[in-house]
Amino acid sequence: MTLEIKGLGRVFVQGDKKNWAVQDVNLSIPQGKFISVIGRSGSGKSTLLNLIAGLLEPTVGDIFLNGRSIHGLSDRQASGIRNREIGYIMQGRSVLNNLTVFDNVRLPFYFSGREGDVTERTRTLLEQVGLSRYEQVYPAKLSGGELRRVAIARALVNQPGVLLADEPTSNLDGENTEEIMYLFRQIADRGTTVLMVTHELDTLQYGDEVYRMEAGRLTV
Amino acid sequence: MQNKPLHSRRIALLNIRHSLTRTVGLVLLVAALSFVFFGGAILVGGLRNGLQNMKARLGADIMIVPVENNTDMEAILLKGEPSCFYFKKTLEDKVRNLEGVKLCTSQFFLTSLDAECCDTRVQLIGFEPETDFSVQPWIARVYDKELLDGAVIIGSDIHTKEGEKLKLFDMEYEIAARLDATGTGLDQAVYANFATIRQMYAAAYEKGQRFLEEADPDNSISAILVRAEDGYDRKELIRSIRKELGGVQVVESQNMISKTAENMEQIATFLYLLAGMFVGLAVVTLCLVFTLTANGRKKEFAILRSLGATRKTLSGILLWESVLIGIAGGALGALSAAIVVFPFHVYIGDRLGMPYLLPGVGAILTVLVLDMGVSALIAPLSACVAAVRISHAETYLTFEEGS
Ligand SMILES: Nc1ncnc2c1ncn2[C@@H]1O[C@H](COP(=O)(O)OP(=O)(O)O)[C@@H](O)[C@H]1O
Ligand SMILES: [Mg+2]
């Protein structure tokens, strides 16, 4: 799936102060490419991903998935695209504590409205991220690296065309970081478009291209 | 279990199961509401039922008892406290001959020290078969023959085994029939004709039981019951009874009933107010708790959104959580109220000092259904504010900035 961003901007108004968290962003990612965006905290990385995921409305500009605009959709339509076409790994700890690892991973399937069962696919994904033995374990028992891998498996359960990852390696050691980057590389090589935002330089070597984000603007 | 589909209801169930402290708190709150609602409704229903039965049972318009025994008469009728008191039998004829008296009969009360059937003392009530108009009509409902000498009819709270005889003062008496419950002290009474009562009295005397006054059943009676001529002024009749007989207390049963009814309405009003207050309090508290906890769960809702849950799905999960909590609380409250109200209904009736008779199964089930409905609805109603808020806010996306 291709991802195209044209003239994208988002302003947050606080009192009479306008804060352009994302400003005039243009980006075009072909299918199966692994793109990294590096930027400081507060530079607008998460806002950019929230806009692409359709969780935030852009102030200006538009986003196209496979050439189709995601602008002006109803909540139902936007949620449907986010559910089926986009795998979103949010910043920080993003697994649900009340659900087992197995249920966390298969949960997005049940938001898709499709009939059926994803037991097999869930098992395969957990095996790929090396968490098979934790199927019935609750997240409270897992380490930081394991939690990230649960979130990755979950983002892939509906076989999305685009994977969005918000600082997927923050607070992880070198070994865990390397494993996750290797996973992303594999995912991209199988045809899923990957957009990762990060503030860690040592993750950049795994991507195909690197952009820099500063005060809401994207530069090469 | 792992293959159960993860729809909103299931997610809600997993959420409330996992957040036990929050869940227990909310369930207990709804349970308290349901307890008051269910228990109160059964109580009021029981009082209404008891009053109705009492009205039906009191065949007499006026009861005459020895002076200062008015409270004892009420004690017998309402609280089931056995007493005996007597005056001369000749008074009965004086009353019978008064103008305005349609029917007149007398009763003789005797209290047993102990009977094998019962833990407590038993009130024995003797009636005169020829003149009685107050006891026999409802004995006739359960027993279609004439009550023979040596046979008794027992109230519903006197417990004996099937086919057993009632043993009193070391003598056995045939049990002809058992009366339906009234919720009054009459349920703990044993009825017999004067001849049988005389027999009992003789036996009691032999056993050495002494009574408050030396009374002999041939010449003494405990109460005179009067039914007035239709349309005759009761106040007038009471005046002439007082003039004719000195040292008696005249009780108008209508008065007693309306006093009881008044007390009952007060209790009912109090319970309704209490229930109303609880509903208000529960709604406010639940509303606050749901809104506050939803604030603390912003991250959780943001994650669900990021996975493709619609706003409607989020509200649905929250509402399901509240419905499940409402049902659990409603059931728990009704169950605890049932545990208190049903096994102790005799005790409750005694403490209330009012005729108290459990409502029928149908009425109880209706109350249960209503109670469960209110409980199951009140929680989601209170969760509405939180549900609308989480489904509209975008601010939940600003959590936990990267380190
Ligand atoms: N929901 C919001 N409301 C107001 N301001 C926001 C909101 N989300 C982000 N911002 C602001 O936008 C800017 C970019 O934030 P963010 O995208 O989280 O940066 P990053 O992910 O790079 O750390 C910051 O100044 C932040 O305070
Ligand atoms: Mg961020």
Q: Are residues B98 and B207 in the same domain?
A: yes
- Is there an atom of ligand 1 within 6 Å of B400 CB? no
Residue in A81, A96, A197 to test binding to B, most B beta-carbons within 10 Å:
A96
d(CA B120, CA A128) in angstroms, rounded, equals 77
Q: Is the CB of B308 under 6 A from ligand 1?
A: no
> Would you state the pLDDT for residue A29?
96
Tell me which DSSP letter residue B115 carries.
B
Q: What is the pLDDT of residue B403?
A: 31
In A, minimum Cα distance to B3 occurs at A119
CB contact under 8 A, A75 and B399: no
Whether residue B222 is found in the same domain as residue B301: no
Q: If contacts are CB pairs under 8 Å, which of residues 174-193 in chain A contact chain B?
A: none
For residues B388 and B3, what is the distance between their CA atoms, to the nearest angstrom? Answer: 31
Residue A214 has pLDDT above 90, yes or no: yes
Q: Determine if ligand 1 sits within 6 Å of the CB of residue A12.
A: yes
Do B44 and B75 belong to one domain? Answer: no
Quick one: pLDDT at residue B400?
Answer: 47
Residue A46 and residue B402 in contact, taking contact as beta carbons nearer than 8 Å? yes
- How far apart CA A102 and CA B342 sit, in angstroms, is 46
Cβ–Cβ contact A94 with B under 8 A: yes
Say if residue B120 is in the same domain as residue B149: yes
Q: What is the CA radius of gyration of chain B?
A: 31
Specify the ligand 1 atom closest to the Cα of A91: 21
Is the pTM for the entire model greater than 0.90?
no
pLDDT of residue B114: 58
Answer for the pair A112, A158: CB distance below 8 angstroms, yes or no. Answer: yes
Which residue puts its alpha carbon closest to atom 8 of ligand 1?
B398
Smallest Cβ distance to B2: which of A94, A136, A166?
A136
Residue B83 lies in a domain: yes
- What does the pLDDT read at residue B160? 74
Q: Is residue B238 located within the same domain as residue B267?
A: no
Mutate to test the pocket of ligand 1, among B305, B394, B395, B398 (most ligand atoms within 8 A of CB): B398
* pLDDT on residue B78: 60
Do B303 and A167 make contact, defined as CB atoms within 8 angstroms? no
Contact criterion met (CB < 8 Å) for B308 and A111? yes
For ligand 1, atom 25, name the residue with the nearest CA.
Answer: A42
Nearest CB to A90 within list B6, B302, B309 = B302
Q: Is residue B33 part of a domain?
A: yes
Q: Which of A88, A95, A171 sits opposite B403 (nearest CB)?
A: A171
pLDDT at B399 (0 to 100) = 47
- Stretch 156-175 of chain A: residues touching chain B, C-beta under 8 Å: 158, 166-167, 170-171
Contact status of A41 with chain B (Cβ, < 8 Å): yes
Query: Ligand 1 mean position to B396 CA, how many Å?
Result: 12
Residue A43 DSSP class: S
Q: Domain range for residue B38?
A: 8-52+260-402
**In tens digits, what is the pLDDT along chain B, a chain of 403 residues?**
447 899 999 999 999 999 899 899 999 999 999 999 999 899 888 888 877 777 766 777 888 887 765 566 666 666 556 666 778 878 888 888 888 888 888 888 877 665 555 555 677 888 888 888 877 777 777 777 777 788 888 888 787 766 677 777 777 888 888 887 777 777 778 888 888 888 877 877 777 765 555 667 778 888 888 888 888 887 888 888 888 887 777 877 777 777 778 888 888 898 889 888 888 988 899 999 888 888 888 889 999 999 999 999 999 999 999 999 999 999 999 999 999 888 887 787 777 767 777 888 898 999 999 999 999 999 889 888 888 887 775 655 654 443 3
Query: Is B122 in the same domain as B151?
Result: yes
Pairwise CB contact (< 8 Å): A99 & B403 = no
Interchain CB contact of A14 with B (< 8 Å):
no
Q: Residues B132, B105: one domain? A: yes
How many Å apart are CA A5 and CA A188, to the nearest integer?
19
Q: Which residues of A touch B18 (CB under 8 A)?
A: 97-98, 138
**Which of A82, A135, A200 is most worth mutating to test chain B (most B CB atoms within 10 A of its CB)?**
A82
Cα gap B35→B26, rounded to integer Å: 14
Distance A216 CA to ligand 1 centre (A): 9
Average pLDDT in chain A:
94
Q: Would B151 be classed as within a structural domain?
A: yes
Cα A105 to Cα A124: distance, rounded to the nearest angstrom: 11
A41 lines ligand 1 (CB under 6 A): yes
Closest C-alpha to B383, from B337, B335, B336, B314: B314
Q: Average pLDDT, stretch A81-86? A: 95
What is residue A35's predicted lDDT score, i.e. its pLDDT? 96
B255 belongs to a structural domain: no
**Pairwise CB contact (< 8 Å): B308 & A199:** no
CA angle B235, B239, B242 (to 5 degrees): 140
pLDDT at B230: 82
Query: In chain B, which residue's Cα lies nearest the Cα of A88?
Result: B306
Q: Is A95 on the interface with B (CB under 8 A)?
A: yes
Query: Does the interface predicted TM-score (ipTM) exceed 0.85?
Result: yes
**B241 and B289 inside one domain:** no
- Which of residues B246, B274, B289 is at a domain's end? B246
Of the residues B222, B246, B270, the one at which a domain ends: B246
- Write phi, then psi, for B252 (nearest 5 degrees): -90, 120
Residue B58 domain-assigned (yes or no)? no
Kindly indicate the confidence band of residue A149, based on its pLDDT and cuts at 50, 70 and 90: very high
Strands B123-127 and B101-111: antiparallel
Q: Is residue B156 part of a domain?
A: yes
Domain assignment present for residue B1? The answer is no
Asked if residue B89 and residue B219 are part of one domain, the reply reads yes
Among chain A residues, the shortest Cα distance to B18 is held by A98
B401 in contact with ligand 1, CB cutoff 6 A: yes
Residue among B82, B386, B308 at smallest CA distance from A160: B308
B91 CA to middle of ligand 1, Å? 99
Residue labelled with tokens 């923050």: A170
Q: Do A41 and B305 touch (CB under 8 A)?
A: no
Return d(Cα B114, Cα B308) in angstroms, integer: 76
Q: Which helix (H) or strand (E) is B326 found in, with range?
A: helix B311-341
Say if B311 falls within a structural domain: yes
Rounded Cα distance between B286 and B296, Å, is 15
Check whether residue B85 and residue B223 sit in a common domain.
Answer: yes
Chain B residue whose CA is closest to A74: B310
Residues B223 and B353 occupy one common structural domain: no
Is the domain of B76 the same as that of B223? yes
Of the residues B306, B390, B395, the best mutation for testing chain A's interface (the one with the most A CB atoms within 10 Å of its CB) is B306
Q: How many domains does chain B have?
A: 2
CB-CB neighbors (< 8 A) of A88 in chain B? 306-307
